[in-house]
């Protein structure tokens, strides 16, 4: 069978661009390709775009999942010569210019790899098996379910030491995601959970934030890191810096200095690595990221591009590559989509140049830090208002903007987070269950849910969108 038709994509005689990934990079690349004479085929393992900067608010019950996700087909329903395929790309054959998916293959003229990144556990298999990542909507929902399940279990646990360990949460990684999640959990602990669980002593719920470097927010200014540390400590978060995790077995978090923390839930936000694509030679990448030139092209393949977290463009200003920020992916996506036609014709194109629009991190109600262009720093409520405006503005659909804004207004005036639902119970493979007197006990236990179901990316029951 002709490889062109295995995914039911017709050959219309136009150059075909295959885009892998519907994140910030892929989304903006497709938008920039509109009307430029290409046939565009977008691949993603989900049928929606995720606004990742707000994943932590889904995880901490502040936002419903559908408020930060938008159907990819809806985004491009008026685009001519556009096709979406709900497929996981499992390989690339650069020599034959073919993409391989789980159910078929497709010939391309140009390929844009925007697959994003996955959690980096730095080769620690035990941590990978027992800690919770938070890079996708299903993973955020896993954490939300586990948080609520832990509190339900704590309410019937008699042993004080075990109850404290069940209620406690450790966040490994003091970057923006770790800081924002810690702040959101602290507000949930202070304003909401005492009303839901009046029989529990919320002082037993410890929120740990672990960072291997000497300060928080290492990618931002020292002022931002110091302000985040001060605010989090005031909110009751236990911050450990210069603390290197050695292992985690599901019960005890161990550090390289020999210290330990008894905690049943660990969230891993300590780093990411690029998604691998079988078929690309090993020397085309470095530390999980694909090497590209200053036009976002792979160094060894002039018709394959890589953008966003998965791409590594070494420049004098960024010798280790650009930071893993949404703005980098957005700007690279727009650049490749805008100039692909010129590159296709062999015309001269200026190299990609990243414009740093600054970095933001929110810590809680009226608490945030902002590093803006020109080395301008803001902290406290002014930074919080900037954070709110920027995040609302960059949501991809009007519906998302309305849902998020309405949820934030409701939360602001009621001090409540209304998404504390265990719709799809989450159970780790390595959760410990004890059988005695006909009862099962464990963090994942809910009536009708058995132990050892799937892994960190698996589902138990149906995902609530």
Summarised one tens digit per residue, pLDDT across range 149-176 is: 999 999 999 999 999 999 999 999 999 9
Summarised one tens digit per residue, pLDDT across range 211-241 is: 999 999 999 999 999 999 999 999 999 999 9
Find all residues with CB under 8 Å of 42, minimum gap 6, and list them: 19, 22, 26, 30, 72, 76, 82, 83, 84, 85
Which residue is associated with the tokens 């990316």?
457
Which tokens in the block code for residue 11?
């050959």
Residues noted as catalytic = 180
What superfamily in CATH does domain 3-45+87-119+273-345 come from?
FAD/NAD(P)-binding domain (3.50.50.60)
What is the pLDDT, as a whole number, of residue 440? Answer: 54
Question: Is the model's pTM score more than 0.85?
Answer: yes
What is the pLDDT, as a whole number, of residue 68? Answer: 96
Reply yes or no on whether the pLDDT at 451 is more than 50: no
Summarised one tens digit per residue, pLDDT across range 44-95 is: 999 999 999 999 999 999 999 999 999 999 999 999 999 999 999 999 999 9
Which tokens in the block code for residue 376?
């301008």
In the chain, CATH 3.50.50.100 sits at 125-270+358-439
CATH class for the domain made up of 125-270+358-439: alpha beta
CA-to-CA dists, residue 343 to 206, 305, 378, 395, angstroms = 55, 11, 41, 30
In the chain, CATH 3.50.50.60 sits at 3-45+87-119+273-345
Percent with pLDDT over 90 in the chain: 73
Find all residues with CB under 8 Å of 283, minimum gap 6, and list them: none
């Amino acid at each position: 069978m002709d490889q062109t038709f295995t995914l039911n994509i017709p050959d219309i005689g136009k150059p075909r661009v295959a885009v892998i990934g519907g994140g910030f990079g892929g989304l903006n690349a497709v938008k920039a390709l509109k009307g430029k004479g290409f046939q565009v085929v977008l691949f993603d393992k989900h049928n929606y775009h995720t606004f990742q900067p707000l994943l932590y608010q889904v995880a901490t019950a502040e936002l419903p999942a559908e408020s930060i996700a938008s159907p990819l087909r809806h985004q491009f329903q008026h685009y001519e010569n556009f096709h979406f395929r709900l497929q996981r790309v499992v390989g690339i054959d650069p020599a034959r210019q073919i993409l391989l998916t789980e159910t078929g293959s497709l010939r391309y003229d140009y390929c844009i790899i925007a697959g994003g990144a996955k959690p980096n556990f730095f080769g620690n298999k035990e941590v990978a098996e027992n800690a919770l990542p938070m890079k996708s909507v299903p993973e955020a929902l896993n954490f939300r379910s586990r948080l609520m399940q832990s509190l339900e279990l704590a309410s019937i646990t008699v042993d004080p030491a075990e109850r404290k360990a069940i209620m406690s949460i450790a966040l490994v990684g003091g970057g923006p995601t770790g800081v924002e999640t810690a702040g959101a959990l602290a507000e949930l602990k202070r304003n909401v959970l005492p009303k839901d669980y009046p029989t529990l002593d919320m002082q037993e719920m410890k929120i740990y934030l672990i960072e291997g470097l000497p300060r928080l927010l290492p990618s931002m200014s020292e002022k931002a890191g110091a302000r985040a540390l001060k605010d989090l400590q005031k909110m009751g978060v236990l911050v450990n810096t210069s603390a290197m995790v050695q292992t985690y077995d599901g019960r005890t978090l161990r550090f390289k200095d020999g210290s330990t923390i008894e905690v049943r839930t660990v969230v891993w936000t300590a780093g990411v690595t690029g998604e691998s694509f079988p078929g690309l030679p090993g020397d085309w990448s470095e530390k999980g990221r694909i090497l590209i030139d200053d036009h976002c092209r792979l160094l060894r393949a002039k018709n394959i591009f890589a953008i966003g977290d998965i791409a590594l463009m070494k420049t004098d200003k960024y010798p280790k590559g650009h930071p893993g920020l949404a703005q980098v992916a957005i700007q690279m996506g727009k650049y490749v989509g805008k100039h692909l036609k010129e590159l296709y014709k062999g015309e001269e194109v200026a190299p990609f140049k990243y414009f740093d629009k600054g970095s933001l991190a929110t810590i809680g109600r009226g608490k945030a830090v902002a590093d803006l262009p020109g080395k301008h720093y803001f902290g406290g409520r002014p930074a919080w208002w900037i954070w709110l405006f920027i995040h609302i503005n960059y949501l991809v659909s009007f519906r998302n903007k309305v849902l998020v804004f309405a949820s934030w207004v409701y939360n602001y005036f009621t001090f409540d987070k209304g998404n504390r639902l265990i719709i799809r119970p989450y159970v780790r493979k390595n959760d410990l269950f004890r059988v005695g007197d006909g009862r099962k006990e464990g963090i994942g236990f809910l009536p009708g849910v058995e132990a050892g179901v799937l892994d960190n990316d698996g589902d138990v029951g149906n995902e609530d969108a």
